[in-house]
Amino acid sequence: MDKFDAIIVGAGLSGLGAAYTLAGSGLEVLVFERGDYPGAKNVTGGRLYVNPVRNLFPNLFENAPLERFIAHEGVTLMAKDRSLSLGYSGSELREEPHQSYSILRAKFDRWMAERVEEKGGIILSKTRVDDVIKENGRIAGVVAGGDELRADVVIACDGVLSLLSEKAGLRAPGSLHDFALGIKEVIALDSGLMDERFNLQGNEGAARLFVGEVTRGKFGGGFLYTNKESISLGIVVGIQDAAGDESSIDVPALLDEFKGRPEIAPLIKGGSTVEYSAHVIPEGGFKAMGNLCGDGILAAGDAAGLALNIGFTVRGMEYALASGYYAAQAVLKARDSGRFDAATLGVYQNLLEQSFVLQDFRSFEETPLVVGNPRIFSHYPELFGNIMKDIYSVSDGPKRRLYPTLRKHLPLGEVWALLKDMKEVMKI
């Protein structure tokens, strides 16, 4: 064949979402993957929210290798010597269809790639794409393994750094305040023990987030997700915060400290780490997005900056799947007109604007600024921890009334600052 209908670079969720859709419409699709198999280079925290993308991929998720549906949510403010937790569980989280699942990417992506192959898409693993082919100002294909391969359109789904988008001129190397670093251990644990420790029944799963001392008061947090037979435990730190700090914040050591916390250690006791991974997450939101398309090229998923910090969690995988789907729709529309220039492919932007993807990005446009407030990570965990300490404390003398106890921690200046911070939160 001298030319493919579409070449997709990267077999992650955006690339596979695009390939599944295009191959399903009968197009000749070639997907490049530099790992040994799809998923080999991919990492999630992680949880996938299925609801927003269920209708874009009918019947796909029913047999997917999802881990556990999340029925228990929890958030913990972590101070140096104490912590304050809030758990949530509701009947709607136990009802089908379940809104979110913990997943492991090496398993999930590999499975989804097989579904793409069933549709007739070609997946070429172990192959790194080195460059784009530019002809008459447009992208005409890619260079991989020394060969030139051509297509009507190239879809850059090569992840957060998207070297391909850089080479195609869609974006410049990112600025560090728009990115966070996630590191994670997958800890194998007997599923019976897990059920007991997290109050899980059947295939229920738990998701927990941790804010405060886990990142030594810097931007970021800790996370824990239960998989079928393992726990995904990790931390996320803002790269600017971690890089700019000359004090002793040593990122790998943060995870070990987190594991050693009395809130965490009993949960993973008896488990054994089976993998250690790291990945960068785009967190700049709407303001940090690159160009979504150029002549002969589209970008989707992390490659387009499509991950979003919505305050209590960072979402990316459903935006990746959806943007892959909409990129494919844009390609199908462009085929109707026989033109693959930026203006024709620009329908991709409109499709994303009409979908939950860019609507979410606009709704949460201010979130990166609001959650960038350092008081969230350093001050409040200690403040609320200390309030709880005094409320629960009974010493050998008489106990102080509750209201004066609260006022001791919340003088007028503190209340005023708290209200000001709350006002910022109202932007989310």
Residues forming contacts to other proteins in the complex (CB under 8 A) are 33-37, 39-44, 104-107, 109, 125-128, 144-145, 160-161, 163, 173-174, 176, 179, 181, 183, 185-186, 230, 239, 242-244, 248-253, 256, 273-280
CA–CA distance, 40 with 53 (Å, rounded to integer): 23
Q: How far is the CB of 128 from other proteins (least distance, A)?
A: 4
Cβ at position 408, least distance to other proteins in Å? 38
**Strand positions, DSSP E, 213-295:** 220-226, 230-238, 272-282, 293-294
CB burial of 118-157 (b: ≥16 within 10 Å; e: otherwise) equals ebebebbbebebeebbbeeebbbbbebeeeebbbbbbbbb
- Beta strands (DSSP E) in 264-348 are 272-282, 293-294, 297-299, 308-309, 314-315
Closer Cβ to other proteins, 173 or 404, answer by number: 173
Nearer to other proteins, 29 or 255 (CB): 255
Minimal distance in Å, beta carbon 164 to other proteins?
Answer: 11
Least Å from the CB of residue 249 to other proteins: 6
Give the list of residues 6+ apart from residue 146 with CB closer than 8 angstroms, or none: none
One-character DSSP codes across 108-119: HHHHHHHHHHHT
> Rounded to whole angstroms, how far apart are CA atoms 392 and 153?
63
Tell me the C-alpha distance between 226 and 221, whole Å. Answer: 17
CB of 189: closest distance to other proteins in angstroms? 13
* Ramachandran quadrant class, 425 (left: phi over 0; alpha: psi -120 to 50; beta: rest): alpha
Residue nearer to other proteins on the CB measure, 42 or 378: 42
Least distance in Å: CB of 203 to other proteins?
A: 18
Q: Which is nearer to other proteins, 39 or 385 (CB)?
A: 39
Residue 142 φ/ψ, nearest 5 degrees: -135, 160
Q: What is the DSSP string of 382-412?
A: HHHHHHHHHHH---SSPPPPHHHHHHHHS-H
State which residue, 73 or 185, has the beta carbon closest to other proteins. Answer: 185
What does the angle CA 228 – CA 231 – CA 232 come to, to the nearest 5 degrees? 115
| CB closer to other proteins out of 279 and 335 | 279
In the numeric block, which tokens belong to residue 416?
């005023």
Indicate if the alpha-carbon torsion angle 290, 49, 278, 158 is positive or negative. negative
CA distance 32 to 416: 55
Q: How far is the CB of 334 from other proteins (least distance, A)?
A: 29
Nearest approach in angstroms of CB 362 to other proteins is 25
Nearer to other proteins, 100 or 102 (CB): 102
Decide whether 223 or 348 has the Cβ nearer to other proteins.
223
Nearer to other proteins, 219 or 340 (CB): 219
Cβ(178)–Cβ(282) below 8 Å: yes
Q: How far is the CB of 251 from other proteins (least distance, A)?
A: 5
Tell me if 164 sits within 8 A of 302, measured CB to CB: no
Shortest CB 158 distance to other proteins, Å: 9
When the beta carbons of 191 and 273 are compared against other proteins, the nearer one is 273
Q: What is the CA radius of gyration of the chain?
A: 23
Nearest to 210 by CA among 220, 219, 221: 221
Please, what is the minimum distance in Å from the beta carbon of residue 39 to other proteins?
6
What's the CA gap between 251 and 280, in Å, rounded?
A: 13
Choice between 246 and 396, CB closer to other proteins: 246
